[in-house]
Amino acid sequence: MKRIITSIFVCCALGVASARNHAEIEVSYVAHTPSHRDGKTDLTNQYILLANSSESKFYSPMTEYIDSLNSTPEGKAKYQEMTRNAYLGGKLDKLPRKDGSCYVVKSFPENKFLCYDNAGLERYFYEEEPEEWHWTVSDATKEILGYECVEATADFHGRKWNVWFSPEIPVQNGPWKLDGLPGLILEAESEGGQYRFVATGLQQTDKLITPVYLTDEYEKTSRMDFLKAKRSFIDNPLGEINSRFGGDATTISTQDENGNAISSNERIYVTRELVDFIETDYK
């Protein structure tokens, strides 16, 4: 498999890859993020990178599945039935739940990235131009999934990243927005370790790189405005909820992870001094 994957991307680099929209490689990642509730818990989400030499999509397969169901009347009815059956059967662990919220779609010929994500109750998308990376490559190496990887570091949108990439898989891509190295990024960690991406599987594929579902439900914005909207919700979620639904912030309450009521006077999320977003340059 190792030689097969390497050969595929040598062909891609020579311009003989299959038609666009079909991926050549599928990489599974575990994304580690800190809980904004307590600033301590390490949350994990399962993501997939589908990529060929010209485009890619980084997404949560469970989230995409739920979005695909909700994109049609028939699928929405199926989703509601699945939810109802889980509740009635007392099997809450079987509830279809989203696992991660962001989609990152890269188009190298068009020189743009499209990012789709949630900020509180709202969905937004924004466009970015590919970053001009300034990676510092070290002499350190280690093996990941049977491939020899090389260490590199760079600053990106407020955080310093340490990554491991494999020149044996010569595709300039990686998890989330990370790329720009002569090889696939298989592990990445922000300074301090709050955010991490770890590849857990790698295989050849011819899957279609399908468009993001429900794009008409995402409001167009800029990256900075998205991060500021997300911060506004984190800092005052009850106020944002009441503003949207016309409620009274003095009476609305929610629950913590143990089911205990939280009043509107209590802070639901920790401050950004304890836990900030994966991108911190919006301040």
pLDDT of residue 5: 59
Question: Which residue is it, tokens 């999934």?
Answer: 145
Three-state DSSP state, 73: helix
| Helix, strand and coil percent figures for the chain, each rounded to 5 | 25, 35, 45
pLDDT of residue 258: 42
pLDDT band at 261, cuts 50/70/90? very low
Q: State yes or no: pLDDT of 55 exceeds 70.
A: yes
**Contact indicator for 54, 21 with CB cutoff of 8 Å:** no
pLDDT of residue 267: 74
Beta bridge partners, 149, equal 142
Q: Across residues 78-103, what is the average pLDDT?
A: 89
Q: Count other Cβ atoms within 10 Å, centred on residue 30.
A: 14
**Kind and range of the H or E run holding 244:** helix 237-245
- Its pTM stands at 0.87
Q: Across residues 129-151, what is the average pLDDT?
A: 96
CA neighbor of 124 nearest in space, from 98, 101, 156, 107: 101
pLDDT of residue 252: 43
Beta pairing class for 103-107 and 55-59: antiparallel
Task: Look at 59-68, 86-95, 223-232, 267-276 and tell me which has the smallest mean pLDDT.
Answer: 86-95
Q: State yes or no: pLDDT of 15 exceeds 50.
A: no
Longest CA pairwise span in the chain (Å)? 63
Interval 222-258: pLDDT, tens = 999 999 999 999 999 887 777 766 655 444 445 444 4
In this structure, the dihedral spanned by the alpha carbons of residues 242, 69, 60 and 280, taken in order and rounded to 10 degrees, is -20
**Contact indicator for 185, 198 with CB cutoff of 8 Å:** no
Q: State yes or no: pLDDT of 8 exceeds 60.
A: no
Q: Which residue has the higher pLDDT, 267 or 155?
A: 155
**Contact indicator for 264, 252 with CB cutoff of 8 Å:** yes
The pair of three-digit structure tokens given for residue 179, joined into one six-digit string:
């790329």
Interval 186-215: pLDDT, tens = 999 999 999 999 999 999 999 999 999 999
Q: Which residue has the higher pLDDT, 267 or 46?
A: 46
Contacts of 221 (CB under 8 A, 6+ apart): 124, 125, 126, 229
**Contact indicator for 159, 195 with CB cutoff of 8 Å:** yes
